[in-house]
């Protein structure tokens, strides 16, 4: 908050270049409040950040677009986790629009990564709200981008790819497209098992979720022995 007072003073003296720093400080405070489950305060600071960043974006989209999109995505995530799905969709889509523009104009890998993240977040929202056709379409876009990125840099993007595989597989399981669900959940498990071997317990939760989803799938398709194996693997990790 001391930083905010300083940035406000500089901005009030017509030092426009400090507006970006003020907006980022608002965003950072929003992140802290969001992490500590102080959602009202987080929402307030995210909105303050967005108000400034939208003004800067209108003047220079390439320079300020990524900052604006990230804060929109942060606010969308807050709305998602507080079950305000209409608002979550609004801000996830705002972020996606900006990232699409940046990918088209600048074509840097960092923006491809953010765009893939945006597709994944929106797809997860659609899945949560039973908009399955839209969820499949968007999650597939996330998978395509993550596969390309993981092929070029597996160490950096393997976990993100596994999450996309899990998201699409879990969607297919929910809508009873069991063959496709099994395919993508197994792809997620293969990656996550390798990651857990390298850096336990950083990736344990993702692997547990994949085992659980596979177990439910096998149970739903009356493959009970396989369901038992999957659930026991998840249980073993949870007990560690």
The pLDDT of residue 9: 55
Tell me the mean pLDDT in the region 207-214.
Answer: 96
For residue 4, pLDDT over 60 is answered with no
Quick check: 73 pLDDT over 70? yes
Q: Quote the pLDDT of residue 13.
A: 54
Question: What pLDDT does residue 2 have?
Answer: 56
Instruction: Read off the pLDDT of residues 93-104 as tens digits, 9 standing for 90 and up.
Output: 999 999 999 998
Each residue's pLDDT tens digit, 151-206: 999 999 999 999 999 999 999 999 999 999 999 999 999 999 999 888 777 788 99
3-state SS track over the chain: CHHHHHHHHHHHCCCHHHHHHHHHHHHHHHHHHHHCCCHHHHHHHHHHHHHHHHHHHHHCHHHHHHHHHHHHHHHHHHHHHCCCHHHHHHHHHHHHHHHHHHHHHCCCHHHHHHHHHHHHHHHHHHHHCCCHHHHHHHHHHHHHHHHHHHHHCHHHHHHHHHHHHHHHHHHHHHCCCHHHHHHHHHHHHHHHHHHHHHCCCCCHHHHHHHHHHHHHHHHHCCCHHHHHHHHHHHHHHHHC
Q: Is the pLDDT of residue 11 over 90?
A: no
Do 193 and 208 form a contact (C-beta atoms < 8 A)?
no
pLDDT at 15: 54
Counting residues of the chain whose pLDDT is more than 90, the rounded percentage is 80
pLDDT at 172: 98
> For residue 216, which of 201, 202, 234 has the smallest C-alpha distance?
234
pLDDT given for residue 22 in this prediction: 87
Confidence of residue 131 (pLDDT cuts 50, 70, 90): very high
Q: Does the structure show a pLDDT above 80 at 17? A: no
Report pTM: 0.90
Of the pLDDT bands very low, low, confident and very high (cuts 50, 70, 90), residue 7 is very low
């Amino acid at each position: 908050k001391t930083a905010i007072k300083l940035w406000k003073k500089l901005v009030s003296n017509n030092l426009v270049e400090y507006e970006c720093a003020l907006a980022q400080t608002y965003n950072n405070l929003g992140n802290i409040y969001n992490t500590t489950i102080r959602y009202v305060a987080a929402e307030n600071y995210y909105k303050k950040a967005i108000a400034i960043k939208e003004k800067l974006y209108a003047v220079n989209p390439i320079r300020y677009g990524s900052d604006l999109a990230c804060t929109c995505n942060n606010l969308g995530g807050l709305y998602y986790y507080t079950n305000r799905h209409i608002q979550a969709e609004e801000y996830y889509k705002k972020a996606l629009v900006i990232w699409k523009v940046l990918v088209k104009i600048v074509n840097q890998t960092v923006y491809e990564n953010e765009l893939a993240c945006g597709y994944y977040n929106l797809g997860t929202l659609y899945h949560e709200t039973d908009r399955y056709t839209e969820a499949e379409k968007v999650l597939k876009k996330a998978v395509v981008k993550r596969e390309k990125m993981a092929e070029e840099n597996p160490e950096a993007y393997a976990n993100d790819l596994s999450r996309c595989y899990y998201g699409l597989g879990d969607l297919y399981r929910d809508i009873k497209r069991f063959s496709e669900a099994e395919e993508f959940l197994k792809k997620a498990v293969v990656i996550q098992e390798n990651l857990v071997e390298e850096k336990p317990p950083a990736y344990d939760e993702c692997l547990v979720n994949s085992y659980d989803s596979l177990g439910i799938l096998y149970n739903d398709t009356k493959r009970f022995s396989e369901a038992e194996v999957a659930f026991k693997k998840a249980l073993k990790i949870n007990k560690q």
